[in-house]
Amino acid sequence: MKFRTISAIFFTSMMTMVSCQNEEVLINDEKDALSNFDLVNELDNNELMNQFGLALSKVTFENQEVREFLKEEAISQFDKNYDILWVKVKDEKIGNKTLRDILVEQTSEAFISQIEEKVPQLNVLFPKIAMFGIEPEKYNSEDNELPVVVPNESCNLVYFDGECADTIQFGDVPDFNVLVINENSRVIVNNDTKTKGVSKSYSFIDPAFDGSNTNIKTKADINIRDERFTTVITNSNANIMGKKVVEAYSLFNNLDRNSDNSVYLQRDYLYYGLTPSQQTGVLKTGVKDYITFIEINPKAYFNIADQNPGSYKIGENISSDILYGDPIIRNLDNNTGTSQISRKKKDYTFQEIINELWTKGVYNIKVEIISSTSNRSMVTYIPVKPEEIWFFNLDRKYRHPTFFKHHSKYTYTINPNNFTSRTYFLDNPIPLGNWDLSKESLYKYILFSEEDLGMEISDERSYEMTFAESFKFTDNLKIGLGLDTIKADNTTGIETSNSNTRKETIKITRKYNQSSDDLGSAEIYFYDPIVYEYISQIQFFTIPNYNTGIVKFGITTY
């Protein structure tokens, strides 16, 4: 049986993922396997979670009070996410029964005890799906169409009203409310207390996840130089940070600028091998900083989507099959600021929506790096498509067939004012070069623009550069952490001052097209932190990012 009760579309992501094979057979096999809740000793953890998902889908379909309870618990965000931790809520009363009692009635005491023992981190996520405007806060508990999704080895299984009703391929995103069965990665559940009738105690793996600490500043909340914000890197993207960055954080993780293990001294370790106990070191010439991701403010659409489509190539380093101008929304109504597509019978795929709503082409993001060691800016291009940098948050309407209108109808409306940013991780991180402080300025400048065709201009600009004084170095040997001399209490200062720095004016030649769109600039300081926070259990990094006002970007060093 296919899952027809819920009107839904699944959008295929841009990443290639493993799809569900033989999903009809898989669904039928799951139905047969999930029919006896007393055979718990024969089930592994994944099968237990599937059984739990099946049972919960039956309960949520039949019981509005449970649906309302789960909604309110998710909205409370006890761990700063829409998580519902089983050991936290299982003994809460819903009517005259606990949530655990309700699930035991649907399954068995043996089953619930077994899953509590084997899966202590059992969690129900009520996700926010930003690209479709789906939020737990907006969910109406009178609607019993609230399926339960359980991730499996090859795909996600969808349970509804006590049946395995459908599958969702990895990378596809539902445009309706769902519950997701998983294991909570933000808490540690103590598994040494009795399960029945007693809520196990739990602790947060970091205070940053404690939803009650709304007034406590943590590493994740601290802004770098006030105007910058932090970005979280986790799981599949954690590999961009590198082993050496983890080592630097293990040595330098204090937020105090004057501490000898301050986060602001991390590059001293990466470039010179300096540690709190070893405060001289030779420059490591193979180390470089890299731009690893960008985010582009959606408001930029109104400026950068201005190069008319045509049969020409733009920029450099772009494959020859891209012969178009800026992607522009087709048929955008000047009065409503929207564009709309619709058709009968068959829903659109993600690529069909892109083809119908957008002209072809890429935005050719030009990145210029200004350093004191060259009289010309170093230039790199990043060609990006609209769907790679923005969530469109489309308005989707579905019309059921009726007696008078025999066909279903699917309508999508796009409005650039509703776009939100998405992080674009670079396949080829952009190197900023080595940072030899005995010769080079403490600052590098990054300029962004969106390049369009037009008359090329060459000009010379002056930049005031700040250099460390030579007494801090003997050839390529750096003496002491930071820039100040080591004080009597063995602390160091990081901020520059007239006594340990000097300023020079450097002239840089730039070439650019007159019609290109300026996306702003930002400066990178040698003593900016690279990592504010690292949690090894879940590969969780909080890093500073830089913001031009239009482009936000992140940097790592390796």
Output the pLDDT for position 303: 92
pTM over 0.85: no
Between the alpha carbon of residue 540 and those of residues 158, 164, 171, 528, the distances in Å are 29, 33, 21, 19
Provide long-range contacts, Cβ within 8 A and 24+ apart, for 99-102: 99/66, 99/69, 102/59, 102/63, 102/66
Q: Which strand (E) or helix (H) includes residue 369?
A: strand 363-370
Model confidence pLDDT, tens digit, residues 424-464: 999 999 999 899 999 999 999 999 999 987 788 888 889 99
107 HSE (CA, 13 A, CB side): 31
Give tens-digit pLDDT for 122-160. Answer: 999 998 876 677 889 999 999 999 999 998 877 789 999
| C-alpha span between 135 and 122 (Å, rounded) | 22
- For every one of its 558 residues, what pLDDT tens digit does the chain have, with 9 covering 90 and above? 333 333 333 332 222 222 354 444 444 444 444 445 655 566 788 889 999 999 999 999 999 999 999 999 999 999 888 999 999 999 999 999 999 999 999 999 999 999 999 999 999 999 887 667 788 999 999 999 999 999 887 778 999 999 988 887 765 667 789 999 999 888 888 865 444 444 457 888 766 678 776 544 343 333 333 334 567 676 667 788 888 999 999 999 988 888 889 999 999 999 999 999 999 999 999 999 999 999 999 999 999 998 765 434 444 444 433 445 799 999 999 999 999 999 988 889 889 999 999 998 899 999 999 999 998 999 999 999 999 999 999 998 887 665 555 678 899 999 999 999 999 999 999 999 899 999 999 999 999 999 987 788 888 889 999 998 877 788 789 988 888 644 444 444 565 555 788 899 999 998 888 888 999 999 999 999 999 888 776 677 888 889 999 999 999 998
In the numeric block, the tokens 């998580």 are attached to 83
255-287: b (≥16 Cβ within 10 Å) or e: eebbbbbbbbbbbbbbbbebbbeebebebeeeb
Q: What share of the chain is helix, strand, coil (3-state, %, to 5)?
A: 25, 30, 45
Query: Do 45 and 183 touch, CB atoms closer than 8 A?
Result: no
Nearest alpha-carbon partner for 179 in 133, 104, 129, 118: 129
Residue 184: exposed, middle, or buried by beta-carbon count in 10 A (0-12, 13-18, 19+)? buried
In angstroms, the CA 465 to CA 523 distance is 11
361 CB-contact burial (10 Å; exposed 0-12 / middle 13-18 / buried 19+): buried
The predicted structure's pLDDT at residue 317:
43
Give the start-to-end residue ranges of the domains of the chain: 23-209, 242-294+426-557, 297-363+385-422
Q: How far is CA 457 from the centre of its chain?
A: 37
Residue 122, SS3 per DSSP: strand
Q: Are 123 and 181 in contact (CB under 8 A)?
A: yes
Distances (CA, A) of 418 to 132, 139, 292: 10, 20, 26
